[in-house]
Amino acid sequence: MAEKIKGRTEIAELGEFGLIDTLTAPFKSSRRSTIKGVGDDAAVIEGSRDTALLFSTDMMVEGIDFDLTYFPPKHLGYKAVTKGISDIAAMNATPEQITLSLAISSKISVEWLRDFYSGVEFACREAEVDLVGGDTSASVTGLIINISAIGRAKKSNVVYRSGAKLNDLICITGNLGAAYMGLQLLEREKRVLAGIDSLQPQFEGYEYLLERYLKPRARYDVVEALAREKITPTAMIDLSDGLASDVMQICKSSACGARIYLERIPIAKQTSALAEEMHIDPVVAALNGGEDYQLLFTVPLEARERIAAVGCIDIIGHITAPETGAYLVTPDGSDIKLKAQGFKE
């Protein structure tokens, strides 16, 4: 292990969240058009009199966020768009435009890029989002992808992480942990097949998990469905870091506590089946796996029936007073304090 250099602090000592907070603290806003800057899924910017613009950015790094040995280029293009526009949906807004920057290493061919862009194009068409700009650079090493997104919403419909109120219901779309188990499956097959060209990877029965990891869809459809039922959530975030971390983000921003009921967390059959096979607790996959790209949001108690009318939304808990903290309640009634990574009694 390298000796610590005097006056040198490793980034790991602060962690990503602490680091960004520290580094952006000295920045002051000088534009009246900035309604909300750093600190939510997307920034909020003055549009016209009654519309706001949402603005966000996301970077994906080869070897950290994806592995090209098993990520098909078309899926990677699709997923990059999902990651970019999911932040806009998480503000209860409609994504409209994206830009795409790429740093491309010499191992990437034109044919590979064509497939990648066909995935980008597919995702854009599906979400009715326009690719309006980009930048490409060479890379001396791996592939880097950056997507920035712009969206639009009525000002009164923009939802922040900070609006959750006591007794609000905590809702999620879809099911959790599937993308994480999809990744585990791909990593397992990569290890099994290392150096053995003649074998085929074993994915039968787990296709849903692969799709959730390789080709997740952003839940802009939920934004539309909530609008149809005239529901404006009080707080919202997209599930990118795992349920535990994202619930805690809402608690921190809204200055509140939360109780999540373990048995109400929706987990798909394939997720449970593979988790059992691989000796992983499926609840841990749901709590800490991340990359679900579902929406986590809170609504007032009186919206319960309208939430049921939307369909595909589960109420998994409720907001509590700030001093109570964020807890997972198990079926036997014991409370487990939520932690951003892993959880302990």
Closer residue to its own copies (CB): 135 or 276: 135
Question: Which is nearest to 121 in space by CA: 174, 74, 173?
Answer: 74
List the interface residues with its own copies, window 13-32 (CB under 8 A).
13-14, 16, 19-20, 22-24, 26-31
- Contacting residue, 75, 79, 152, 219, with its own copies by CB under 8 A: 152
Closer residue to its own copies (CB): 139 or 324: 139
**Rounded least distance, CB 257 to its own copies, Å:** 27
3: DSSP letter: P
Q: Strand, helix or coil at 315?
A: strand
Q: Which stretch binds its own copies (CB under 8 A): 123-131, 170-178, 198-206, 215-223?
A: 123-131
List the interface residues with its own copies, window 55-94 (CB under 8 A).
55-65
Contact 262, 329 (CB under 8 A): yes
List the interface residues with its own copies, window 126-145 (CB under 8 A).
128-142, 144
List the interface residues with its own copies, window 306-345 (CB under 8 A).
none
Residue type, 21: D
Strand order in the sheet with 130-138: 34-36, 43-46, 51-61, 144-154, 94-104, 130-138
Closer residue to its own copies (CB): 62 or 292: 62
Closer residue to its own copies (CB): 14 or 225: 14
Closer residue to its own copies (CB): 66 or 206: 66
List the interface residues with its own copies, window 93-122 (CB under 8 A).
96-97, 99-104, 106, 108-111, 113-114, 117-118, 121
Query: Whole-angstrom Cα distance, residue 203 to residue 8?
Result: 45
Query: Whole-angstrom Cα distance, residue 226 to residue 97?
Result: 22
Query: Whole-angstrom Cα distance, residue 66 to residue 60?
Result: 7
Q: Strand, helix or coil at 148?
A: strand
Residue 155 in the binding site for its own copies (CB under 8 A): no
Question: Which is nearest to 235 in space by CA: 222, 211, 253?
Answer: 253
- Contacting residue, 146, 184, 232, 294, with its own copies by CB under 8 A: 146
Query: Whole-angstrom Cα distance, residue 239 to residue 258?
Result: 16
Contact 223, 92 (CB under 8 A): yes
Closer residue to its own copies (CB): 40 or 168: 40
